[in-house]
């Protein structure tokens, strides 16, 4: 319960602001009871099935899907922005050396700050909508280059420069491996990236908007969002979901392993979502992507999913718990050759587009986000004791 500063009755506020509407948005929405989410007016899953990452990026930034001319112009713009300023490129080896043990997501925070300074990003409060958009697109375009360079440097490898003839998804795989990307893997990664661009007012998106409400520059807003995403309760689950499959190991261990954890009240990584009360539509789509590859790993993942749902129905009747996006995201990324330490950074490479759209929307409102807290400490005022 929070005190209403106007003197009216106290306001009941749920923990974590669950379900509290804090603003209006045209970026997208999650309708958890229906098992549906959308970007602007389009189903996000339909977009992942039918459109390219660049098309959806255009939709989030410009508010509409591009026609052929707009698509060509946007691809040309973003392709040129993949290359890093000389000051940033020169600093990456030191950033990678300092953050190598923490992973590329940690290095991304520092690299994004440097990118914003090198490109002369100014506070969104002081610039017009056109300059804000240019800054947001420039930062988002650079993130895949930064992440893959930091990862390779930490592995003792030289960064791979982006190619102008490759799509965003293909370039990501190319800059990671230095090899010509496989078309099927490229499309699978592209569908994953599209499916995770935005997802309502999650913790990192809300963080980006809070910082944007102060009028800070785009890079500062994105650095804050990356910090929120780094928490294991938000962006760290795809690799942990694979850890679950590894811990179970073989089909004969599925039943006892799951029963033990359900009865102990432990969380099974890759299952359950704070919003969805039905099957996560992202998980459904990514299961289809994984099944298109086939193989023992995919068959095992599907079997674990079915068994978890069956055991929960038996032991916890009435409790709806389905796979979330992280479960099959980990499977798909593994099938496409991504190392586990890049799962969450790859999530960030997609979500930076959603963050950017939210930053641009928030920047249109000059009101700073400034909630209040309920004080529960000792009664005040208390006289300050004198020093003896």
Q: How far apart are CA 223 and CA 220, in angstroms?
A: 5
- Give the pLDDT score at 268: 76
Q: How far apart are CA 245 and CA 25, in angstroms?
A: 38
- Which amino acids are annotated catalytic? 273, 326
Q: How far apart are CA 251 and CA 260, in angstroms?
A: 15
Domain edges within the chain = 47-232+345-363, 237-335
Neighbours of 160 (CB within 10 A): 17
> How many residues does the structure list for the chain?
388
Spell out, as residue ranges, where the chain has pLDDT lower than 70: 1-11, 236-238, 270, 272-277, 318-320
CATH homologous superfamily of 47-232+345-363: Citrate Synthase, domain 1 (1.10.580.10)
- Give the pLDDT score at 3: 46
- List b or e across 364-374, with b for residues whose CB sees 16 or more CB atoms inside 10 angstroms: eeeeeeeeeee
Q: Report helix angle 53-62 to 343-363, nearest 10.
A: 30
Q: How far apart are CA 212 and CA 206, in angstroms?
A: 10
pTM greater than the 0.85 cutoff? yes
CATH homologous superfamily of 237-335: Cytochrome P450-Terp, domain 2 (1.10.230.10)
- Give the pLDDT score at 101: 86
End-to-end CA distance of the chain: 39
């Amino acid at each position: 319960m929070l005190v209403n500063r106007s003197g009216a009755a106290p306001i009941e506020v749920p923990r974590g602001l669950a379900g509290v509407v804090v603003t209006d948005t045209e970026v997208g929405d999650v309708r958890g009871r229906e098992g549906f989410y959308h970007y602007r007016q389009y189903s996000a899953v339909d977009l992942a099935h039918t459109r390219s990452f660049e098309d959806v990026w255009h939709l989030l930034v410009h508010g509409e899907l591009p026609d052929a001319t707009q698509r060509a112009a946007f691809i040309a713009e973003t392709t040129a922005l993949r290359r890093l300023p000389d000051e940033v490129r020169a600093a990456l080896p030191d950033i990678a050396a300092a953050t190598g043990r923490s992973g590329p997501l940690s290095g991304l925070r520092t690299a994004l700050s440097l990118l914003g300074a090198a490109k002369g990003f100014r506070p969104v409060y002081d610039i017009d909508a056109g300059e804000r958009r240019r800054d947001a697109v420039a930062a988002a375009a650079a993130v895949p280059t930064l992440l893959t360079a930091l990862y390779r440097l930490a592995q003792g490898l030289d960064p791979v420069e982006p190619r102008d003839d490759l799509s965003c998804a293909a370039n990501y795989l190319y800059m990671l491996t230095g090899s010509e990307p496989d078309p099927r893997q490229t499309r699978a990664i592209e569908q994953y990236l599209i499916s995770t661009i935005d997802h309502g007012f999650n913790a990192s998106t809300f963080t980006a908007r809070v910082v944007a409400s102060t009028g800070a520059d785009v890079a500062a807003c994105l650095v804050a969002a990356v910090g929120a995403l780094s928490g294991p309760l938000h962006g760290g689950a795809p690799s942990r979901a694979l850890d679950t499959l590894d811990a179970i190991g073989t089909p004969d261990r599925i039943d006892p392993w799951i029963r033990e954890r359900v009865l102990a009240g432990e969380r099974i990584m890759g299952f359950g979502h704070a919003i969805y009360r039905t099957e996560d539509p992202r998980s459904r789509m990514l299961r289809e992507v994984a099944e298109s590859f086939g193989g023992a790993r995919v068959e095992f993942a599907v079997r674990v999913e079915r068994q978890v749902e069956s055991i929960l129905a038996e032991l916890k009747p009435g409790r709806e718990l389905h796979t979330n996006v992280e479960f099959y995201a980990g499977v798909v990324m593994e099938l496409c050759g991504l190392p586990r330490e890049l799962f969450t950074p790859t999530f960030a490479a997609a979500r930076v587009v959603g963050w950017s759209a939210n930053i641009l929307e928030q920047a249109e409102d000059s009101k700073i986000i400034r909630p209040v807290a309920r004080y529960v400490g000792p009664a005040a005022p208390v006289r300050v004791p004198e020093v003896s």
